[in-house]
Amino acid sequence: MFRRERRERIVALLEERGSATVEELAELCHASVDSIRKDLQQLVREGRCERYYGGARRIGPPPDQGTPNQGGPLGQGAFGQGAGADDAHANENELIGGPSLVPTALPSGTRPWPWDNPAPSTEPVSASRGRPDVVSQEARLSVARRAYLEINDGDAVFLDVSRTNALLADLIAQGDKHVIVTTNMMEVIQRLSGKPHVTLVSTGGYLNVQLNGFLGSATISLLEPLLFSKAFIGADGVNLTNAAVTTDSIDAGEVKERVIHNASYPFLLAEEQKFRMSHRFRFATVTDFCAVITDTDDPEILAGIARQGVAALRAL
């Protein structure tokens, strides 16, 4: 099936079903998952469908109904089975391919999140590179909270060298989700060490004292055979004009690039200030990620993310 025919087939399937996961579309179109993701990104740019985490839905109501389908893929809910947080918190796990989403409040009687009664959290000091932090602790924490919602029991996740990931590690430590966490950041190792519900894996390699994390060719080689269900990747800057995701450390960028390649669902953690910054080394494009987790309310930034065909997840 040629690319154009496949995209027409995808649109027809979405019109018929309302929504479908990437895996379902790949099976029905006899194509790879990567090909379907690229097709969906192009169809979103053309305004022919909407993306959500793990799949896509048609735009507008079905032909014989007056209201659009609000369910997820094939009636499972917005994320599909096993793709969001617990069912009790399903409303907080919706994704958007457009301007904004404000998560709903927790239903009464549900399990509390780790930040409801958090233990004191220290200010992350890693990844400072000798520069003042232009992003507030509150902004980082709100992004970390939204990222935590994407982690399920049994997930194998990667946390790279990032101040926001240090805060995400605190939430994992305070929570009760049983996960496997692989990291190259010393602070994450320190914060998760000894937690009975966390299986902790360190990449090893050359320890960069300035970043307080493992970098370099040895780390990349050790990462090569490891696969992750989800990866949470920090960045120093995001340029939506050319879709460049940048860092000022080549060594750190090469590790991030390898992790993105090895993750089924890589997430970009980007506070609003990051969209006004650009650095020397481009390690990824925005379209390499399944979603961008951000605290921004800026409609131009949100529209810029949507134009890339990538979902934007609003921070808590």
> What's residue 94's pLDDT?
40
Which percentage of the chain shows pLDDT scores above 70? 76
Contact 165, 232 (CB under 8 A): yes
Contact 39, 287 (CB under 8 A): no
Confidence of residue 275 (pLDDT cuts 50, 70, 90): very high
CA distances from 282 to 84, 242, 277, 279, 294 (A): 29, 11, 12, 8, 19
CATH among 3.30.1360.70, 3.30.360.10, 3.40.50.1360, 3.40.190.10 for 87-94+107-314: 3.40.50.1360
Beta-bridged to residue 314, according to DSSP, are: 294
CATH class for domain 3-75? mainly alpha
Q: Report H helices in 30-125.
A: 33-45
Beta-bridged to residue 228, according to DSSP, are: 263
Residue linked to tokens 């997820």: 72
Average pLDDT over residues 25-36: 87
Three-state SS annotation for 216-255: CHHHHHHHCCCCEEEEEEECCEEECCCCEEEECCHHHHHH
Domains in the chain: boundaries:
3-75, 87-94+107-314
Confidence of residue 115 (pLDDT cuts 50, 70, 90): low
Which percentage of the chain shows pLDDT scores above 90? 51
Of 196, 192, 187, the residue nearest 234 (C-alpha): 187
CA distances from 103 to 31, 89, 90, 258 (A): 34, 10, 10, 32
Give the strand pairing for 206-208 and 213-215: antiparallel
Q: Report H helices in the chain.
A: 3-17, 22-29, 33-45, 137-149, 163-174, 186-192, 217-223, 250-262, 299-307
Confidence of residue 150 (pLDDT cuts 50, 70, 90): very high
pLDDT digits (tens, 9 = 90+) for 151-193: 999 999 999 999 999 999 999 999 999 999 999 999 999 999 9
